[in-house]
Amino acid sequence: MPAVVPSAMLLQASLFLHCVLLTLGQYDICKSLVSTDDGPTWEFYACQPRPMLMKDYMQIRVDPPDITCGNPPERFCTLENPYLCSDECDASTPDLAHPPQLMQDRERSGLITYWQTVTWSRFPEPLLANITLSWNKSLEVTDDIEITFEYGRPTIMVLEKSLDKGRSWQPYQYYADDCMEAFGMPAKRVQDLSAANVTRVICTEQYSRWVGSKNDKIVRFEVRYRFAIFAGPKLLNMDNLYTRMESMKGLRDFFTFTDLRLRLLRPALGGTYVQRDNLLKYFYAISNIEVQARCKCNLHAGQCTFREGSLQCDCEHNTTGQDCARCERGFKAKSWKPGSYLPTPNGSPNTCEAAGTLGNCECYGHSNRCSYIDFINIVTCVSCKHNTRGQNCQHCRLGYFRNASAELDDENVCIECNCNQLGSLHARCNETGFCQCREGTTGQKCEDCLPGYNWKQGCIPNVCDDEMLQCLNGGTCFQNQKCMCPPEFKGVLCEQLRCEGEKGCNGASACYLSLITTVLCLLTSSLLRASA
């Protein structure tokens, strides 16, 4: 059957091609020169750098700093044979030292090298250590993260990640030999996740149980299983994964980080309880941390290189920045957008465009649309974003003011005035962010009261206080609005006597309230009247 042969060969050839494409990776070219009727022109595609072994670029920090063994030199034993305690850790002897960088070295000689902690001699105080891995660059993990433990895997640990270079952290996965006991979480396996809950943070018992220190040394953060939910068990259908990354909120971010942190909370115990008579067999030792990832370049770079101490995307499409997250100067006719995996297979580059390509209208990156207004013959930006307004989105909207330290094309160029509604006359503020205040009100946002005023849904003048408007004759000031007078006084500041008689208190002199003085008082008054 000669006819079959070519088609089988074709199939083989196409399979081969498929494999080549897979190893090359999709989206790996950003542009190509194509010939058209008008001569050769550039065509642009969404592109991303290849995965790399990120342990070559990571900064390791171990906390607390004195957790590394060997200073002073220390003996340790093994879980399998607790009577075999000959090994020594000594930081001052290169052959016996176990510094943190042995977690990322390449073990060319075949000799396993590892970082090791002090032993748990302070039991029952917990033996805690944090290992922080930093790249100073957003990365997208592309394969399982693998941490290799010598002498047994921890019985409790947490993997955390940061998306903002270590400013904030979130848990990535919990590990324990008993998830319920350690974290109050039911034990799950990544294999049990589905499309609906693929980004769920779980606790797993798969990598913490005692199986002997030599049998299974690896603690894994399973990326391939999670990819397989969309791309199939052999990850052949990556297009489907990429499509989901575009549409499913949080999916891309789930695989993104700038830093990782291992929180080691309890060492391997050898499958039983802690034996207090030999604490020299409890410690942590890590020989390798494998992180395969690609630089996050927002689909605007096909390469990522190590420059000036950090990984940087080699940005195309006239974008710039460590992650290609901005348009280059002079290319801000439209606002920046990440490239898109869609439509497959080449995606959309969403290139930044030179000011001028949209009918000479510069919008400083705050608008993607211009419109020609016929009767006044101008081109103007439409729907300016980032709280800007104006023909070129060059002004700030009402209620916002210009950020003096930001360029006109910065997303943060307009800052909200944030005038206090009760204290200010309106929502506008001047160029330095000062609002216009109502009477008695002060402060940049009109949120404070001048002396002699107090805040009560706006500043209202004081009736009394402890300084200028003191209550007299022993009265006390109630909430700056009322003098509480003793029974015999009245008036706003308790300045007047409250008399029982009808007329006695009209005069300037004070009258006394006894019967006799009332009589005297009446007499004096009538005398005065008579003499007048």
Ligand X SMILES: *[C@@H]1O[C@H](CO)[C@@H](O)[C@H](O)[C@H]1NC(C)=O
Restricted to residues 31-70, the positions that interact with ligand X (CB under 6 A) are 42, 63-64
Closest to ligand X by CB, 97 or 202: 202
Residue whose C-alpha is closest to residue 317's, from 136, 48, 50 = 48
Q: Which stretch binds ligand X (CB under 6 A): 149-157, 204-212, 306-314, 379-387?
A: 306-314
Q: Measured from the CB of residue 44, what is the shortest distance to ligand X in angstroms?
A: 6
Candidates 12, 14, 32, 197: give the one binding ligand X (CB under 6 A): 197
Shorter beta-carbon distance to Ca ion: residue 119 or 287: 287
Instruction: Give, in order, the Cα–Cα distances in Å from 328 to each of 332, 335, 410, 412.
Output: 7, 11, 12, 17
Which residue of 113, 240, 391, 403 would you call a contact of Ca ion, by CB under 5 A?
113
Query: Which residue spans within 251-355 are E strands per DSSP?
Result: 256-266, 285-290, 292-295, 301-307, 310-315, 319-320, 326-327
Establish if 128 lies at the interface with ligand X (CB under 6 A): yes
| Contact status: 183 vs ligand X (CB under 6 A) | no
User: Applying CB under 6 A, which of residues 202, 241, 299, 304 lies at the interface with ligand X?
Assistant: 202
- CA-based nearest residue to 358, from 384, 332, 328: 332
Angstrom distances, CA of residue 106 to CA of 59, 168, 290, 414, 457: 15, 31, 11, 50, 68
- Is the distance from CB of 336 to CB of 358 less than 8 angstroms? no
As measured in angstroms, the least distance from the Cβ of 87 to Ca ion is 17
Using CB distances below 5 to 8 A depending on partner kind, what does residue 434 bind out of ligand X, Ca ion, none?
ligand X
**Of the candidates 280, 376, 309, 299, the residue with the CA atom closest to the CA atom of residue 88:** 280
Interface region with ligand X, contact rule CB under 6 A, candidates 79-87, 191-199, 332-340, 464-472: 191-199
Residue 113 binding result from ligand X, Ca ion, none, given CB thresholds of 5 to 8 Å by partner type:
Ca ion
| Residue-by-residue DSSP string for 163-212 | SSTTSS-EEEEEEESSHHHHHS--B--GGG--GGGTT---EE-TTTS-S-
Of 104, 65, 79, 75, which is closest to residue 267 (Cα–Cα)?
79
169 near ligand X, rule: CB under 6 A: yes
Closest contact distance (angstroms) between CB of 467 and ligand X is: 26
CA distance 119 to 422: 63
Q: Of residues 322, 420, 424, 462, which one binds ligand X by CB under 6 A?
A: 322
In contact, 267 and 15? CB cutoff 8 Å:
no
Stretch that binds ligand X, among 173-181, 230-238, 310-318, 470-478 (CB under 6 A): 310-318
Confirm or reject binding of residue 287 to Ca ion (CB under 5 A).
yes
Q: Find the helix or strand (DSSP H, E) in which 140 lies.
A: strand 129-141
Residue 473, exposed/middle/buried by CB under 10 A (0-12, 13-18, 19+)? middle
Nearer to ligand X among residue 62 and residue 141 (C-beta): 62
Choose, by CB under 6 A, the member of 371, 403, 418, 442 that binds ligand X.
Answer: 403
405 binds ligand X (CB under 6 A): yes
289 counts as binding Ca ion under rule CB under 5 A:
no
Given CA atoms 334, 336, 339, 343 in this order, what sign does their dihedral have?
Answer: negative
Give the residues lining the site for ligand X (CB under 6 A).
42, 63-64, 128-130, 136, 169, 188, 192-194, 196-197, 200, 202, 263, 309-310, 312, 316-318, 322, 354, 403, 405-406, 410, 412, 415, 430-432, 434
Q: Would you tell me which residues interact with Ca ion (CB under 5 A)? A: 102, 105, 113, 287-288
